[in-house]
Structure 1
Amino acid sequence: MQSNKQEEYIDLRQYWLILKRRWLPASAVFGFVLLLTALVTFLQKPVYQAQGKLLLKRTGSTSTVTGLGKELGQLDSLVDSPESNYPVNTQAEIINSVAFAQRTINELDLKNEQGEPLKIKEFQQRLEVKNIKGTDTLLISYKSTVPEQAQAVVNKLMDSYLRNNMMATRTEAIAARNFIESQLPKSKISVQKAEAQLREFKERNNILDLENEAKAAVTLVTDLENQIAQAQINLANANMRSAALQREIGINVEQAKVINALSQSAGVQKALADYQEVESKLANERSRYQENTPVIADLKLKQASLREVLEKRVQQVFKGQQPLLDQNLQIGELQQKLTEDYVKTEVERIVFNNQLSALSKVYSNYKQRAGIIPQLQQKQRELEREVDAAQSTYATLLKKLEEVRIAENQNVGNAQIVDVGRVAEEPVAPKKLLNFALGGVAGIILAVFIALARDAVDTSIKTLREAKEVLGYTVLGVIPNFDKIDKLNSRNENPEQTLPKIPVKCTPRSMISEIYGMIYANLKFLGSDQELRVITITSAVPKEGKSTVSANLALAIAQLGFKVLLVDADMRSPSQHQFWELGNNKGLSNLIVEQIDLETVVTKVEQNLYVLTSGVLPPNPLAILNSRRMASLVEVFSSSYDFVLIDTPPLSAAADARIIGAMTDGIVMIVQPQLLDTGSAISAKELLEQSSQNVLGMVVNGVCPENEPDSYFYVKEYNTEKDLVTSDINAKDRAKVS
């Protein structure tokens, strides 16, 4: 969390630094926007606004024209929910429509500034119709440079809306009545058709009350099942008794019927008894008389007569059937009882069998009927629903017809004017304070945008942090920008006094001298494993102050008691002879080419400090610098002096620095923000990497304290000589190797 806050703070400071760097274009843009705002504000004509309020109210229940809950001309549920403002917003759109605008323009003969009829689009831009939140009220506003015109437009719009609303209400009622009257005959036919279908269905399926019939069918089917079961039991018992009696008497049922009938006939039994008596006498007489005797003949004649009588009586009983044998015409009492029981049992069996058949048939019919009752009920309910729906629709139409006739005769709309438009006394525009505030905000935003855009287009390295990020070298020291003393100390008596090229020489006790001493200390720390004696100093591009840094660093080291040689190897644009006010007739080029002694060209400029100028500028400096003589001279320099600094051309100008850097213990890069661009820095770094140079680090020169987000500098009078004193609070950038 703390890290995020720190990053945010750094980003804000970065933006502030960008604004400080680009203050001039940002200020120009800000001033231009404010000036433009002032011109627009003071040149704009006063605009007046008239307002009116229109209340949208509910209508009575007599306006209902449909059965779906919609009421004629009614804006229902206007403020009950977030979505309920839709009807009010719809009315607002109606007032803001092209038709209303055109009608108002024509009736009021509205003109624009050129005297032409006002355009509908311009009219709508001046008009504002909105719902007052939480109410059923519309606020109608119109702006115009003429206050009376604004008032007239608002009142005309509200009057037009009321007339239109009233006419729309009556028109809707008439349309509803015509529609209902056209639907009534169709609805009546639908009712009759539905009722006829229901009646036909009941008649076809013999339906009185299906609900009760379904309940009764369940009970009846259960009773029939019980009766059938009992009949089956009775039939089984009768069958068993009949079979037992048949085995006992040895005759079938038909024979039993005959025997039973004969035994119960008195005439047959009387004739049979007479016949048996004569037959008995005949048998007795035959034992006494011959067959041809009159007694026997008389008995035979009587026997034949009685037999004929018996046969006639038997035929009378069986109505022409073949008479039975004589032994069957008379049975015993037990035999007769068994025969009677057999016949009764057989009759019962037939009755039980017929009863079972009848019950089974009835059961089957009821079972079948019970099975189709659910289908009949479903069909009946469907038909009843159709009847109910048709009747309900018909009744609703009749009711709505009466209501719409009442609504048609009403002359009332659903809106009324709450507040008429009035002539405005004060203009609503221009709002000077608001305009200037908005102009100021817009100016600030645009100024910041311009500053950021300019900074984004600028590819130069602007701060110490950017130099670290682009090059990635160790920071050996940070040298502030001392162009003029008045920038550092406002109390200086001479604000036009400029800083000398070699401040270490002029102010040896100043903090700037300490900065160069700190650079040497950092170099010494780098060479703790291997002593650094010969160092090449260069930069990526010209004008970064490499020669100035070389001169001051050499003097700072010499002041520490070391014997130092400063070599000006920049044979393209030498400057060391100017810093030390020396001649340049003889120098390094002469030493390489003419094979002269080192002492003849080296000049002692300060205690322990010796300077070797560039000498006569050769036509091809790279050729002489890339010679064996130069390599041997570097070895001589290293053995003759405690410390050797070689000032070389920028890397972008020539390959001299890389050639000499390969002969020395390492290279120190001089980097100046605002002067070095990112592309040149990357290119210089690639050149050093390609030639496998030992880059010891970089000295950041000309740092502007106000541009640095990580550190700042302060100045003060340190002694009576008023030496310049600078201090870099950020110890990590000047006191140690990162």
Structure 2
Amino acid sequence: MIDSLPNVEEIDFQKYLQILQRRWLPAVGIFGVIVTAASVYAFSLKPTYEAQGSVLIKSDNTYSLTGLGENLGRIQALTQEGSPLETQAKIVTSVPVIQETIKSLNLEDKEGKPIEIEALVKKLKVKGAVGTDVLEISYTDDDPKLAAQVVNKVIDLYINRNVTDNQAEAISARKFIWKQLPEREQAVKQEELTLRKFKEDNKVLVLQEEASNAVTTISQLETEITKAQADLVEVERKLVNLRSQAKVQSEQAATYADLSQIKGTQDVLTQLQQAESLLKVEKTRFQPGHPAVINLEEKVAALKGLLNERTQQITGSNKSVPEGNIQIGELRQELIGELISTENQYNGLSAKISQLQRAKVNYQQRAQILPKLEQTQRELERRLKAAQTTYETLLTKLQEVDVAQNQKVGNARIISSALVPSKPSGPRRIIFIGAGAAAGIILGIITAFGLDLVDRSLKTVKEAKELFKYTLLGVIPNVSKRARNRSSLDVVEAGIPRIATDFTHYPLGDAYQMLRANLKFLSSDHELRSFTITSSISKEGKSEVAANLALAMTQVGRKVLIVDADMRHPIQHHIWYLNNNIGLSNLLVEQMESDKVIQEVMPNLFVLPSGVLPPNPLALLDSMRMSALVDEFVRDYDFVIFDTPALAGTADAAVIGNLTDGTLLVVRPGVIDYASANAAKGFLTQTSQKVLGIVINGVNVKREPDSYFYYNLNNLESTTASKSASNDSVLVKVK
């Protein structure tokens, strides 16, 4: 889908030019008044003189040389957009400086009173030279000597005030430093004490080295733990094997080994073994109840009790020890010894690993708190350093301000003092006159457009066409009075021209011939012979158009009748110098013969005046008699033209229009307004009139933007040249 192009309203420059052409007189009047007023004002001004001096704004060079107090009185802006020169310019025009200037020079007004501060500031200008640190100070006055004195005095006061302000700043800074020094010194001591207490409480020497050592130690401990755990696994495996071979638990191995080494226990065990062996032999020989068997059983029981008693004494436990573990062989004793040694090695490795892990945990815990301790230490050190820096800075600044207080140097020095001006600097009269001319042009244009906006009349042919939307049949140019008088055109007292016999040599003649030709070609079926000519309001020239159109028709040999049907304000009898005692009204009322009333004013041109004015013209026009007369006129003449009243307020034209072949509407720009035109158009539409077209009358050719006319404009001033000459030929073109 293609997007439609936006509607762009074209600027009609021709339209604006036409407005200026129509309203040139008030525009020129306004322009003349303003330029005259500006000129009078410019020449009434007295000459003024401007004295100028310059000051360099800089940092204090003395401070730069000594290296002390260099920040006192420094000129700098607080914001990115601000300029130090602008700040100093405000100081130059401050109230204290201006007041002292007025007092020192004893400046007074016309009444002998000290001049107002605003009056002096208004004539005092202070600005910074672009791209430099120079402040330009100027003063304008009628007296050149006074102008120079004011500038030099302002500069002197500004520099003295700058020096005083710098000294006051140094004194104020010294008081502040003296007040702050004890507090800053106490703050340094307090921060030192806090840092020392922190190190003592947390046993801190050098935290960075301690953190590095802690990381190394933890790594070493992890290595040792890993190695010890590997050894422990090997020892544990060996211990399991020894326990399996020695067939004894680790905790019993030492006990069994001790029992094997005690002689008394071994002797009892030997006797017990012998008694048990003998008992087994005797049981094979004797019955269980035999005395020998009983004695041996009692002996075995006694020996067991004795052996159990001795083992309990040795083991310290009430549990009995199997006989096989009391007497152990040499190999088993070696295995038990090795088992005990391995057990001791296992326990040692376990203890070592536990100790290493505890040490690792301790180092890890310490390493975890080291960052926090380090952060706290850094913060305390920063606070201490800040306190020390502040204290040291205050001591340094104290020395600086002591030096600065004794220096009588400011941030400004004079580059050039003001000289007495020899030539006036103003006012420039040409500027005031030029400004007045510019203002006059602008206000003149505004006046022209304002008047044209207030004026609601139709102004151009184009506006008339766009409003009525009827066929444009003819455009009648306006002819100046001088051109009329120099031609053979007769002018009557009413101001309506009558075309004379040299009609064809006059530009109006060609315009009416074109109108006649356009009427001829309106209908291809039958020729239009009767016409009603009217206008929206009076004074649009409908009677003039009717008369001139009739005369144009007679130039081609046609018999034409002009009927003055305007029985309210008739004009045709004035145009043709006729008597209006009898006319149309008499024909309608008295049933007279038309030949007795109609008068021939020129060959083939006949006029029927309106006659005596009746009290009710519409009743006469809207009658059967009028309809019969129209048919009679059309039968007897080639063309019949009815001059009717304007449409405003009457229906006469509408009644006559229904009896003729059509209506011609005469429109005169500059006379008719939009409201009347719209009312007339609505009335024609409502009454179903057959409007043949419109005739634009009284058109100013020079003010028409469109090409409705093509002819030599000299024809409007003179009619002495031959019509056949190409340079003086006349042609009226209707768009």
Q: Identify if the C-alpha distance between structure 1 residues 70 and 691 changes in structure 2 by more than 3 Å, giving closer, same or farther.
A: farther
Q: Take 1:56 and 1:695, find their aligned partners in 2: how far apart are those partners?
A: 87
The alpha-carbon deviation at position 376 of structure 1 amounts to: 3.1
Q: How does 1:248-397 map to 2 (within 5 A)?
A: 248-261=245-258, 269=263, 331-397=328-394
1:13 match? 17
The alpha-carbon deviation at position 58 of structure 1 amounts to: 2.1
Equivalent AA in structure 2 for residue 465 of structure 1 = K
User: Secondary structure of the residue that 1:715 maps to in structure 2?
Assistant: helix
1:616 match? 612
Whether 1:679 aligns to 2:675 is yes
Q: Take 1:279 and 1:445, find their aligned partners in 2: how far apart are those partners?
A: 151
Whether 1:649 aligns to 2:648 is no
User: Is there any run of 5+ residues in structure 1 with no aligned partner, and where?
Assistant: 288-306
Q: How does 1:421-432 map to 2 (within 5 A)?
A: 421-432=418-429
The alpha-carbon deviation at position 273 of structure 1 amounts to: 7.8
What is the CA deviation profile of residues 173-195 of structure 1, one whole-angstrom value per residue up to 9, with x for unaligned ones? 12222223323333333333333
Q: Identify if the C-alpha distance between structure 1 residues 643 and 343 changes in structure 2 by more than 3 Å, giving closer, same or farther.
A: same
Q: Take 2:513 and 2:347, find their aligned partners in 1: how far apart are those partners?
A: 146
2:600 match? 604
Q: Identify if the C-alpha distance between structure 1 residues 229 and 507 changes in structure 2 by more than 3 Å, giving closer, same or farther.
A: same
Whether 1:658 aligns to 2:657 is no
2:4 match? none
Whether 1:460 aligns to 2:462 is no
User: Secondary structure of the residue that 1:173 maps to in structure 2?
Assistant: helix
Q: Identify if the C-alpha distance between structure 1 residues 658 and 269 changes in structure 2 by more than 3 Å, giving closer, same or farther.
A: same
Equivalent AA in structure 2 for residue 163 of structure 1 = N
User: Secondary structure of the residue that 1:337 maps to in structure 2?
Assistant: helix
Q: Identify if the C-alpha distance between structure 1 residues 277 and 517 changes in structure 2 by more than 3 Å, giving closer, same or farther.
A: closer
CA contact (8 A) 2:490 2:499 kept: no
Whether 1:214 aligns to 2:245 is no
1:22 match? 24
The alpha-carbon deviation at position 503 of structure 1 amounts to: 2.1
Q: Take 2:729 and 2:122, find their aligned partners in 1: how far apart are those partners?
A: 62
Equivalent AA in structure 2 for residue 696 of structure 1 = L
User: Secondary structure of the residue that 2:53 maps to in structure 1?
Assistant: strand
Q: Take 1:226 and 1:401, find their aligned partners in 2: how far apart are those partners?
A: 61
CA contact (8 A) 2:585 2:612 kept: yes
Q: Take 1:629 and 1:246, find their aligned partners in 2: how far apart are those partners?
A: 162
Whether 1:420 aligns to 2:417 is yes
1:523 match? 519
Q: Take 1:654 and 1:646, find their aligned partners in 2: how far apart are those partners?
A: 15
The alpha-carbon deviation at position 389 of structure 1 amounts to: 2.8
Q: Identify if the C-alpha distance between structure 1 residues 424 and 271 changes in structure 2 by more than 3 Å, giving closer, same or farther.
A: closer
Equivalent AA in structure 2 for residue 223 of structure 1 = Q
1:302 match? none
- Aligned Cα RMSD in Å? 4.2
2:54 match? 53
Q: Take 2:434 and 2:346, find their aligned partners in 1: how far apart are those partners?
A: 121
1:163 match? 160
Identical aligned residues as a percent: 41
Q: Identify if the C-alpha distance between structure 1 residues 614 and 272 changes in structure 2 by more than 3 Å, giving closer, same or farther.
A: closer
CA contact (8 A) 1:130 1:140 kept: yes
The alpha-carbon deviation at position 569 of structure 1 amounts to: 0.4
Q: Identify if the C-alpha distance between structure 1 residues 382 and 11 changes in structure 2 by more than 3 Å, giving closer, same or farther.
A: farther
The alpha-carbon deviation at position 57 of structure 1 amounts to: 1.5
User: Secondary structure of the residue that 2:108 maps to in structure 1?
Assistant: coil
User: Secondary structure of the residue that 1:357 maps to in structure 2?
Assistant: helix
The alpha-carbon deviation at position 451 of structure 1 amounts to: 3.1
CA contact (8 A) 1:37 1:435 kept: yes
More deviation in 710-719 or 387-396? 710-719
More deviation in 58-67 or 416-425? 58-67
Q: How does 1:401-416 map to 2 (within 5 A)?
A: 401-416=398-413
Q: Equivalent of 2:733, from 729, 732, 735?
A: 735
CA contact (8 A) 1:22 1:454 kept: no
What is the CA deviation profile of residues 486-533 of structure 1, one whole-angstrom value per residue up to 9, with x for unaligned ones? 5898xx899999998222544334342221110011222322356422
CA contact (8 A) 2:57 2:412 kept: yes
What is the CA deviation profile of residues 250-291 of structure 1, one whole-angstrom value per residue up to 9, with x for unaligned ones? 444454323434656xxx55996899799999x99xx9xxxx
User: Secondary structure of the residue that 1:385 maps to in structure 2?
Assistant: helix
Q: Take 2:326 and 2:616, find their aligned partners in 1: how far apart are those partners?
A: 176
CA contact (8 A) 2:488 2:500 kept: no
Whether 1:633 aligns to 2:636 is no
1:242 match? 239
Q: Identify if the C-alpha distance between structure 1 residues 381 and 675 changes in structure 2 by more than 3 Å, giving closer, same or farther.
A: same
CA contact (8 A) 1:509 1:723 kept: no
What is the CA deviation profile of residues 336-375 of structure 1, one whole-angstrom value per residue up to 9, with x for unaligned ones? 2112112112212221221222122222222323333333
1:549 match? 545
User: Secondary structure of the residue that 1:662 maps to in structure 2?
Assistant: helix
Whether 1:444 aligns to 2:441 is yes
TM-score normalised by L of structure 1: 0.83
Equivalent AA in structure 1 for residue 18 of structure 2 = Q
Equivalent AA in structure 2 for residue 583 of structure 1 = N
CA contact (8 A) 1:507 1:724 kept: no
Q: How does 1:571-590 map to 2 (within 5 A)?
A: 571-590=567-586
Q: Take 1:417 and 1:696, find their aligned partners in 2: how far apart are those partners?
A: 90
Equivalent AA in structure 2 for residue 542 of structure 1 = S
2:290 match? none
Q: Take 1:550 and 1:726, find their aligned partners in 2: how far apart are those partners?
A: 30
User: Secondary structure of the residue that 2:647 maps to in structure 1?
Assistant: coil
User: Is there any run of 5+ residues in structure 2 with no aligned partner, and where?
Assistant: 1-6, 282-302
1:303 match? none
The alpha-carbon deviation at position 617 of structure 1 amounts to: 1.0
The alpha-carbon deviation at position 158 of structure 1 amounts to: 0.7
The alpha-carbon deviation at position 73 of structure 1 amounts to: 1.5
Q: Equivalent of 2:701, from 700, 705, 713?
A: 705
Whether 1:126 aligns to 2:123 is yes
Whether 1:117 aligns to 2:82 is no
Q: Identify if the C-alpha distance between structure 1 residues 625 and 726 changes in structure 2 by more than 3 Å, giving closer, same or farther.
A: farther
User: Secondary structure of the residue that 2:557 maps to in structure 1?
Assistant: coil
User: Secondary structure of the residue that 1:526 maps to in structure 2?
Assistant: coil
What is the CA deviation profile of residues 520-567 of structure 1, one whole-angstrom value per residue up to 9, with x for unaligned ones? 112223223564222111112222211111011011112223332211
2:714 match? 715
1:108 match? 105
Q: Take 2:133 and 2:125, find their aligned partners in 1: how far apart are those partners?
A: 16
Q: Take 1:275 and 1:22, find their aligned partners in 2: how far apart are those partners?
A: 159
More deviation in 696-705 or 643-652? 696-705
Q: Take 1:99 and 1:565, find their aligned partners in 2: how far apart are those partners?
A: 98
Whether 1:34 aligns to 2:30 is no
User: Secondary structure of the residue that 1:508 maps to in structure 2?
Assistant: helix
